Amino acid sequence: MMRNGAVRPRWLCAALVSALPLVFVAGCGTWDKHRDADNPRPDGSVARVAVDVRPDRPAQPGRPIVVSVRDGRLYAVNLVGPDGRAVPGGNAPGDATWSNSEPLGYATRYTLTASAVDAFGHTTTRTEDFTTIARDAELTVDTVAPDADSTVGVGMPITVTFHRPVTDPAQRAEVERHLEVSTSEPVEGAWGWVDDETVRYRPRAYWPVGTKVAVLTSLLGVDFGHGVYGGPGGRVGFAVGDSVIATVDSGAHTMTVRRNGTDLRTVPVTTGKPGFTTRSGTKVVLGKAPHVLMDGTTVGISADSGDGYRLDVEWATRVTWSGEFVHAAPWSVDSQGSANVSHGCVGMSTDNAKWFYDQVKLGDVVTVVNTGDPKAMEPIGNGYGEWNLAWPDWLARSVAGAGTTRPL
Domain count, the chain: 3
Does 13 participate in catalysis according to the annotation?
no
Query: Among 289, 292, 288, which Cα is nearest to 313's?
Result: 292
Given the residues 178, 253, 327, 343, the one annotated as active site = 327
3-state secondary structure of 195: strand
CA-based nearest residue to 79, from 134, 124, 126: 126
- Shared domain check, 368 and 262: yes
Confirm if 126 and 54 have CB atoms less than 8 A apart. Answer: no
Contact 172, 191 (CB under 8 A): no
φ/ψ bin of 227: left (φ > 0), alpha (ψ from -120 to 50), beta (otherwise): left
Residue 6 located in a structural domain: no
Q: Which domain holds residue 332?
A: 244-384
CB atoms within 10 A of CB 190: 23
Do 272 and 398 lie in one domain? The reply is no
**Cα–Cα distance between 400 and 397 in angstroms, integer?**
10
Distance CA 176, CA 213 (A): 17
Q: State whether 79 and 125 are in the same domain.
A: yes
Task: Write down which residue in 131, 150, 185 finishes a domain.
Answer: 131
Q: Are residues 194 and 143 in the same domain?
A: yes
Q: Are residues 223 and 286 in the same domain?
A: no
CB atoms within 10 A of CB 203: 24
In what helix (H) or strand (E) does residue 50 lie, and over which residues does it extend?
strand 48-51
Q: Is 226 a catalytic residue?
A: no
Beta bridge partner(s), residue 267: 255
Tell me: do 261 and 370 sit in the same domain.
yes
Distance CA 359, CA 350 (A): 14
Whether residue 85 is found in the same domain as residue 201: no
Q: What string of pLDDT tens digits covers the 408 residues of the chain?
A: 444 433 333 333 333 333 333 444 434 333 444 444 455 566 789 999 999 998 988 888 878 999 999 999 999 999 999 999 999 998 887 789 999 998 888 889 999 999 999 999 999 999 999 999 887 778 889 999 999 999 999 999 999 999 889 999 999 999 999 999 999 999 999 999 999 999 999 999 999 999 999 999 988 878 887 778 888 888 999 999 999 999 999 999 999 999 999 999 999 999 999 999 999 999 999 999 999 998 888 878 888 787 888 889 999 999 999 999 999 999 999 999 999 999 999 999 999 999 999 999 999 999 999 999 999 999 999 999 999 999 999 999 999 999 999 999
Catalytic residue among 178, 253, 343, 345: 345
Whether residues 184 and 76 share a domain: the answer is no
Note the pTM of the prediction, 2 decimals: 0.73
Final residue belonging to a domain, choices 91, 108, 131? 131
